[in-house]
Amino acid sequence: MKKRILLLAGGQSGEHEVSLMSARSVLAALPRDQFDVTPVVISKQGRWLPPTGTQRALESGEAPTGGDLVLHRVASAEGYDAVFPLLHGPMGEDGTIQGLLTLAGIPFVGSGVLGSAVSMDKVMTKQVLASAGVPQVEWRLALRREWRDQPAAVEARAAELGFPLFVKPANLGSSVGISKVSRAQYLAPALDLAFSLDRRVILEAMTSHKPREVEVGILGNDAPVASPVGELSFDAEFYDYETKYTEGRAEMHIPARLPREVAEQVRETALRAFRALDCAGLARVDFFYVEETGELYLNEVNTMPGFTTTSMYPKLFEAAGISYSELVTRLVTLALEER
Ligand code: ATP
Ligand code: MG
Ligand code: MG
Ligand code: MG
């Protein structure tokens, strides 16, 4: 019997377009002799589009309006064996959809409510991983209300970290809303931007030198495995949205050009983080490696990483001998597995 899969894409976050790109690749790759796949695109306003609207959105690459209230669709989703929530960012990668699917009793690809919610929030991730002994850069939390009512207190927190520093919405991805702040006078616009996207903002110390950026994929549920380590190189101040998604701006190196013991440490630390955060199915764990000093810091955990055929996560597993279509098949199998 073929498994009936509901593939969710789009969504309300700043990563709507990125999700649709990923979904096109997954849709093309799920083997049709094993799966009956129904894609449903969620508009930027959070409405679930019917098949015609979905088809149009997949072709045009966006879905600004239209669709039904979520709950109508979830009721009919009981006809599916599993859901692939290929959504990035808030209302998709953060436990909200996972909660809805859990309530509806439908198995789904990836982490559950807890792992998704904690991993999405950069502050919660840092707190949990600190207690697991994972090395991370210095950081401070600021709330929107504090920035509004006591800006000097927020500025003092930034000063403790020193410049340059990074300002990030705590719950986002694709570098949306992230600024590298080189001096105090640029702090306010960076905070305004981040707070326009999130109630919680994280201030992060920069590594002592410009770091090398290495990433590793994790696959599995309670017995996860790590992929080879990959590295990204690019000519930009940091790995911002444009550098991420403009063809030819960044280069992927698989395996990363790292001493063997560093690569091993990356893999081992990523597995420890995956377990500490109660992740499931998949995650891409991002690190900073400071070549000059040998320091290695975990940056973040992405529970639904970019998933086009040229994205880092599938490329990492391809290097381990798992093709893209085998990988998506494996993910659905993991969703259906008893834990
Ligand atoms: P993703 O698309 O991987 O989900 P994201 O939006 O969650 O990304 P981060 O990975 O936290 O954002 O940061 C984006 C980029 O900013 C990093 O890849 C790196 O280039 C730069 N960066 C972020 N924090 C730091 C830091 N503390 N020190 C140096 N560079 C940093
Ligand atoms: Mg991220
Ligand atoms: Mg992400
Ligand atoms: Mg990242």
Closest ligand 1 atom to 232 CA: 18
Q: Is 89 in the pocket of ligand 1 (CB under 6 A)?
A: no
Question: pLDDT grade, residue 338 (50/70/90)?
Answer: confident
Q: Hey, what CATH class is 139-205 in?
A: alpha beta
Tell me the CA distances in angstroms from 96 to 66, 115, 207, 339, one per residue in order: 21, 11, 32, 21
Cα 40 from Cα 38, distance rounded (Å): 7
Contact partners, residue 2, CB within 8 Å, separation at least 6:
33, 34, 35, 36
Is a pLDDT exceeding 60 seen at residue 248? yes
- Nearest-CA residue for ligand 1 atom 24 is 166
Closest ligand 1 atom to 205 CA: 27
**Do 280 and 339 contact (CB within 8 A), yes or no?**
yes
- Residue 295's pLDDT is 97
User: What CATH number belongs to 3-108?
Assistant: 3.40.50.20
pLDDT single digits (tens) 197-217: 999 999 999 999 999 999 999
Residue 8's closest CA among 27, 36, 32, 31?
27
Question: pLDDT grade, residue 67 (50/70/90)?
Answer: confident
Q: Is 172 in the pocket of ligand 1 (CB under 6 A)?
A: yes
Distance 9 CA to ligand 1 centre (A): 23
Q: Is 302 in the pocket of ligand 1 (CB under 6 A)?
A: yes
Q: Is 93 in the pocket of ligand 1 (CB under 6 A)?
A: no
pLDDT single digits (tens) 163-196: 999 999 999 999 999 999 999 999 999 999 999 9
> Span 104-112, mean pLDDT?
94
Q: Is the fold of 3-108 the same as that of 119-135+210-336?
A: no
Distance 178 CA to ligand 1 centre (A): 8
- Residue 325's pLDDT is 97
- Residue 53's pLDDT is 86
- Residue 124's pLDDT is 98
- Residue 28's pLDDT is 96
Tell me the CA distances in angstroms from 64 to 67, 172, 241, one per residue in order: 10, 19, 20
Residue 201's SS3 state is: strand
Q: Is 213 in the pocket of ligand 1 (CB under 6 A)?
A: yes
Q: For a pocket test of ligand 1, which of 215, 299, 301, 302 has the largest count of ligand atoms closer than 8 A to its C-beta?
A: 299
Q: Active-site positions?
A: 15, 174, 245, 284, 286, 300, 302, 306
Question: pLDDT grade, residue 77 (50/70/90)?
Answer: low
- Residue 249's pLDDT is 95
Encoded amino acid at 109, one letter: V
Distance 89 CA to ligand 4 centre (A): 12
Distance 300 CA to ligand 2 centre (A): 6
Q: Return the structure tokens found at 290.
A: 């400071």
- Residue 119's pLDDT is 98
CATH entry, 119-135+210-336, from 3.30.470.20, 3.20.190.10, 3.40.50.300, 3.40.800.10: 3.30.470.20
Distance 303 CA to ligand 2 centre (A): 9
Bigger pLDDT: 73 vs 116: 116
Which helix (H) or strand (E) segment holds residue 141: the answer is strand 139-143
Q: Is 300 in the pocket of ligand 1 (CB under 6 A)?
A: yes
Where do the structural domains in the chain lie, given as residue ranges?
Answer: 3-108, 119-135+210-336, 139-205
Q: Return the structure tokens found at 67.
A: 């669709």
Distance 286 CA to ligand 4 centre (A): 6
pLDDT single digits (tens) 253-278: 999 999 999 999 999 999 999 999 99
Q: Is 286 in the pocket of ligand 1 (CB under 6 A)?
A: yes
- Nearest-CA residue for ligand 1 atom 21 is 238
Encoded amino acid at 220, one letter: G
Report the chain's mean pLDDT, rounded to a whole number: 95
Contact partners, residue 297, CB within 8 Å, separation at least 6:
135, 136, 137, 207, 211, 287, 288, 290
Is a pLDDT exceeding 90 seen at residue 69? no
Proximal ligand: closest to the CA of 243: 1
Is a pLDDT exceeding 70 seen at residue 68? no
